[in-house]
Structure 1
Amino acid sequence: MVPIKPTVILEPPLTQIYSSETVTVRSSKPRATLTAQSSVIPAGGSVTLSCSVEGSAGWKFDWFRRDSVSSKAQLMRGNEANRVISVSQGGLYHCRGGRGDPVYYTEDSSDVTVVEIFPSKPTVTLQPSWTQIYSGETVTVRCEIQGGEGAQWTYEWRAAKLNTPPTSNEYRIIRATESDSGGYSCRGRRDYFFSGWSDIITLTVSFPSKPTVTLQPSWTQIYSGETVTVRCEIQGGEGAQWTYEWRAAKLNTPPTSNEYRIIRATESDSGGYSCRGRRDYFFSEWSDIITLTVSYEPRPVLTVSPSWLSPGASVTLNCEVEHPSAGWSFYWNKAVADLSEKSSSYELLPDGSGTAQDSYIIHGQTHTAGYVCRAGRGDPEYHTDHSQPKFVWSADVHSAASLTVSPDRVQHFTSDSVSLTCEGNFTEWRVRKFSEDGRLYSDCRRMTGSTCDINTSKSDTAVYWCESGSGEFSSAVNITVQNDGNGPILVSPVHPVTEGASVSLSCSLRTQKILSNVFFYHNDKLIQNDPRGELKISAVSKSDEGFYKCQYSGRESAQSWMSVKVTMSGADSSSSPVWLIVGLVCGVSLIIILLLLLCRCRQSKCADKPPDVIYSNIELENFGNKWKHHKPEQSAVYTNVKTGAAEDSLMYAEVKQPKKEKAKKNKGTSSPAADAAVYSEVTSGSSLSNSAAMQADLFFTLLNVFSS
């Protein structure tokens, strides 16, 4: 076969050209075509290359490879009949065809680039390692290929908004802005080796929020000795390696941490606190100032209501501290007299330790007593001082200790001699005084034994009571000293007046003890529009309780409170009709039972039998106040009938009934049954033939018992 005659082609097709012009002379020799199955060889894999010459057959192929663009092509395989080969190395490949003898070669094919993937996947790291940074900070993004150390890699970057992506393994962002936020990934390239793309690491650039100074506990008002922690918080800056700067009140060495702990605060710690964060060369803004105020230890204020009470009433204590919502717990104590120290000790009340409520209720208060409170908060707990004692005064004279006043009146003139005497089964006493200005006095100026002698002055207007060495409190009394030497005083009893008793109120001058033409007022209302010498109340009732004052010649006395002590007699008398009805019903029932017994005894000739005793137990319900039932054994009525021979001329009916007088409070026991026994003498003669007379006598006896 005759080889194809080549043809020369000029480009441009000009046979006449001039100096400095360019012309390309091209042979019409055929060109081999190289195609690759893929331009990328996966790690550990291979790709297929195909070489062809268009329009003819019988060709054999030569395969060439270069390691780089500048290197010389090396023959891989020559005179291969197979137009398809498999390669596992990256590089620049081309081929050519040849046939005949001598061999006629085609032109070389164009280069085909095949790259080989490096088996190790790169990693993007940040230095510093914070994925959250702030505007103005500097960060270095680095691409690292494990196992590729020492190789001459170039790098490709997929970075957020990079106009000129770097080819080195580091990308340094100086004075970052929010536009630098986004995902960063990389891969390495070495000749015809490529790594895979790394995983994306996301960088967030933001403007930091303003730091905030907080207090723990959150009280801006604290007291000397308390502990507080001042903390700097940067929202969104968690996990960052911040150091801190403080502008703090009188800090010689401000801390660099985010917390500043003040232990046992003093007033010098008062002031404003602010902070800012620093990270490398970046600074946050200064926080707003928070002002801490340290003041002297507070003293709570205790109030009691009511301050004067009726025995058995409930008393409410209230403890008030500055800033009451600031986490206080409250402690409630009773003041107990300590005569050896001339002071008082404090006993914790039941369930009175660390209550969340600022009030405490005492049920069933019966006597004068003193109370204090204090507050605590924090961990470890900080305690305030105790409050000033506050007293609940009872005018009940039946307490274990009592106080008598001589002369027995509330109001006195200045320079009067007044004696206050403590009474009771105690050897040690002290008289206490609570003045108008709220001061508590523990000792009498002139104490002789159990009597305190006072030469009165205006400052002696106060509430007085006795305290024993064992902590017992007497009733309390008011003493009022008239400062106007020419004005009258009201003569009224110091202690409460028992309901139903009589009382006389009068008006007196220093120079004249008994006055006439006096007007009396009750709760500021004129009692009667005619003057008199004294005000007599023959039977005092609860409605007579209140403030009284007198007026003489246009001058008024001070007013004094007269208390009325209620007795239970009224309540007992109100139940008398009920007892009368119950007594009648029970009496009739008892008579019927006795008649039946007598009839049975007559039928069986009981007179000839030995004497025996027959008991009939009848339970009576006590319909007293509030209709409470007594225990059956306390309300049993026993009828003891003794029968015997003809010579036994007496028969006794013993009736035991509960005593109607109300038991003392908290005692709950009736008088002994013997005190209520009633014996009725019935003459029966020598036989029981006079039964009708005996029945009548017994009926009237029972009627008398139950109606009394």
Structure 2
Amino acid sequence: MDKLISLFVFSALSQIVVSHVHTEASFRANIELVSEHSRIFSGERARLRCSIPDVHRSNWTYLWFRGSEELSQTGEELNLWNTKVQDSGKYYCQGTRNTKVGKIRTQQSVPVELKMDGGWAILQVPRHPQLVGSTLEVTCRVRGNPRLEEIILYKDGVEVMRQNGHKPDFYLNNLSLEDLGVYSCRASWDVSGRTHSVTSAGTHVQILEVLSQPILEIIPNYDTQLKRMKLTCHVQYNAPAPAPPIDFYFYKNNRRLGPATTDNYNVVKQTPGLYSCKARVPQLDLSKSSEPKNFGLRVAQPQRPSHL
């Protein structure tokens, strides 16, 4: 009887442990930058907010980390007052709460990187990658906000634009992948007949295509009974929400295999040939095709020259 009770207790504890692990893995904390920019001057304030996607609205306590270091704050918001250069780093948050089986924790959030600049100038750029064809706005900020006379924008050390200091914002229209690079700015102003000039640190600007070139994946023997294989068209689609629908086309030897579909895969008869796929967004007039992929065709081997 004692052995039976022990087995029952052990089984119950095992179920509790499994439940505990499942609960921990089912939540991931979300971190949000409340401040306008992730790169600021030392001495300025930064704010981060943590949230847990919990429909039951449980009572969570929030843990904050900079790198591997756990910080002392435990509130929903992390306020960094009078920041120092040493406060720069990747910040994470995590939720924890008490349950009947003890404390559990959510998964850590994805990081938000903050940079506290101890210099005199900052080039502030959008935190998220920009899309080809869009307009990029960057701002050259100078500590103390003096009345600027001239501002110069550089890309990879080469001058791109120059304008008077009354307009610290630069606009790059109709972006292309050639606009990728490291940008910086130089600002000048006069005080008591003397000219002061400062240059910001370089800031990387990311630019993405709305639609990347597709890559075709062929999975042979997907349906062995009917001798069929699966074609999957992998593509990165970066249109902002609400994104227009995307259509997929599949080809064998440059002939279309059936009608277009909104699914990025197709199951076809497994036969040798040159296969490819195309992704198309009709509303944006965008279309990209994959490189053809050989399946089952013999490739002629170059013949070695005969020795006389």
**TM-score (structure 2 length as normaliser):** 0.48
* Higher Cα radius of gyration: 1
Bigger RCO (CA 8 Å, 6+ sep): 2
Higher strand share: 2
User: Taking structure 1 as the reference length, what is the TM-score of the superposition?
Assistant: 0.23
